[in-house]
Amino acid sequence: MTSPTTYDMVIVGGGPAGLTAALYASRARYKTLLVERIGLGGQLLTYEKVDNYPGFPEGITTFELTELFKAQGLRFGMEHRSVEVTGLDLSGTIKVLHTPEGPMEAKAVIIATGCTPRKLQVKGEAEFTGRGVSYCAICDGPFYRNEEVAVIGGGDTAVEEAVYLTKFASHVHIIHRRNTLRAVKILQEEALANPKITVHWNRIVTEIQGGPQGVTGLVLQDTVTNASSELNVSGVFVFVGLVPNTQWVPEDVHRDALGFLITDNQMATSVPGVYAAGDVRSKSLRQIVTAVGDGATAAFCAGRYVESLAHHG
Ligand code: NAP
């Protein structure tokens, strides 16, 4: 049996952080492999357009941006495989990544696996997922042409996607648990000025109702008065934050209270040779622009680490 290739770096995750790490590592001539489980682009592709990535004054579609990231990596020899990493063995100097296609070896690992949308965890959510409950407006928005939908949450994602959904839906109800939105002001202004959007302040969802045809409505509770009410909608888009994709990462790699990986300013985690970049990392701003910065730093510092191994034999 042939033993697996030992890469200088294996980068896990194909979003902006992973793609940038792969670009920097490949360009610096490290033997690099990028591994991702669904396809290049990551969470980026769950949005339609990006307005706040510098260099594109009119904005750019996430599809185009992903293609540009990819082309730039390929120009410098980026190697890429689509397979899910299910475990990581950190006991030796060479790290071993487990996949259904066999093990992979690396001197350094960069974790750039991003996040998954957080669930609301209310009655009806699991039952109606895919039948009216969605976590992706660009994927499912077109199914709700001329229908009323609800968006749950008050952050950037909820408010931005509520505006996007007005392209299809006859009306979009934002359900927010407080009386002020968390989203940046420019997104708030756009949503609050849109006649197809109503914000239901101080409301939580206690149940998602439906039948054989899918979702029919929501049961809401007023957080001030405790009064209960019903809202008829045929689609529910849940945007209540993110959960880091770290199930496969051993506990030796330290997390913060919310489960995000803790790094220093070199993107180094608590385990030597293991780096984290992008949304999976504990940090204050989760954006494409911060993910690419993390990816570049992680690749540079992982490269230094790989060289230090060579010097120490
Ligand atoms: P987020 O910023 O964590 O916001 C989550 C929202 O959901 C908050 O409004 C929160 O309410 C609400 N929420 C959380 N748990 C809830 C529950 N159990 N029931 C009801 N509501 C609940 O998450 P996000 O909006 O997905 O954004 C994630 C990151 O991506 C952020 O860093 C964001 O800036 C970034 N992002 C940026 C852009 C952009 O720049 N264009 C677009 C999308 C996302 P409270 O406000 O009361 O806490």
Q: Determine if ligand 1 sits within 6 Å of the CB of residue 178.
A: yes
Q: Is the pLDDT of residue 1 over 60?
A: no
Nearest-atom index, ligand 1, CA of 286: 32
Pocket test for ligand 1, best of 134, 286, 289 (most atoms within 8 A of CB): 286
Predicted local confidence at residue 42, as pLDDT: 87
Predicted local confidence at residue 190, as pLDDT: 97
Q: Determine if ligand 1 sits within 6 Å of the CB of residue 160.
A: yes
Quick one: 95 and 198 in the same domain? no
Quick one: 258 and 209 in the same domain? no
Quick one: 187 and 172 in the same domain? yes
- Is 50 a member of any domain? yes
In Å, what is the CA distance from 308 to each residue of 10, 303, 311?
Answer: 17, 9, 5
Smallest CA separation from ligand 1 atom 7, residue: 240
Q: Are strands 32-36 and 6-12 parallel, antiparallel or unpaired?
A: parallel
Quick one: 132 and 170 in the same domain? yes
Over residues 163-187, mean pLDDT:
98
Residues 240-269 pLDDT 10s? 999 999 999 999 999 999 999 999 999 999
Predicted local confidence at residue 57, as pLDDT: 96
Lowest-confidence region among 45-54, 69-78, 207-216: 45-54
Decide which of 188, 213, 238 is a domain's last residue.
238
Question: What band does 48 get if pLDDT is binned at 50, 70 and 90?
Answer: confident
Residues 74-126 pLDDT 10s? 999 999 999 999 999 999 999 999 999 999 999 999 999 999 999 999 999 99
Q: Determine if ligand 1 sits within 6 Å of the CB of residue 52.
A: yes
Nearest-atom index, ligand 1, CA of 115: 28
Residues present in the chain in total: 313
Over residues 26-51, mean pLDDT:
91
CA 115–ligand 1 middle distance (angstroms): 12
Lowest-confidence region among 49-53, 99-103, 183-187, 227-231: 49-53
Question: What band does 43 get if pLDDT is binned at 50, 70 and 90?
Answer: confident
Question: What band does 313 get if pLDDT is binned at 50, 70 and 90?
Answer: low
The residue range of the domain holding 67 is 6-116+242-312
Q: Residue for token digits 């049996």?
A: 1
- Is 1 a member of any domain? no
Total-model pTM: 0.91
CA atoms within 13 A on the CB side of 205: 29
Q: Is the pLDDT of residue 166 over 90?
A: yes
Q: Is the pLDDT of residue 312 over 90?
A: no
Predicted local confidence at residue 44, as pLDDT: 87
Quick one: 204 and 256 in the same domain? no
Predicted local confidence at residue 311, as pLDDT: 77
Q: Is the pLDDT of residue 40 over 70?
A: yes
Kindly report the average pLDDT of the chain as a whole number: 96
- Is 38 a member of any domain? yes
Quick one: 58 and 90 in the same domain? yes
Question: What band does 203 get if pLDDT is binned at 50, 70 and 90?
Answer: very high
Pocket test for ligand 1, best of 115, 240, 242, 289 (most atoms within 8 A of CB): 240
Over residues 219-224, mean pLDDT:
98
Quick one: 213 and 268 in the same domain? no
Q: Determine if ligand 1 sits within 6 Å of the CB of residue 206.
A: no
* Contacts for 204 with CB less than 8 Å, ≥ 6 apart: 175, 177, 220, 221, 223
CA 225–ligand 1 middle distance (angstroms): 24
Q: Is the pLDDT of residue 148 over 60?
A: yes
Quick one: 218 and 248 in the same domain? no
Catalytic site positions:
136, 139-140
Smallest CA separation from ligand 1 atom 9, residue: 154
CA 102–ligand 1 middle distance (angstroms): 37
CA 157–ligand 1 middle distance (angstroms): 6
CA 287–ligand 1 middle distance (angstroms): 12
Q: Determine if ligand 1 sits within 6 Å of the CB of residue 117.
A: no
What is the count of structural domains for the chain? Answer: 2
For residue 127, the tally of other CB atoms under 10 A from its CB is 14
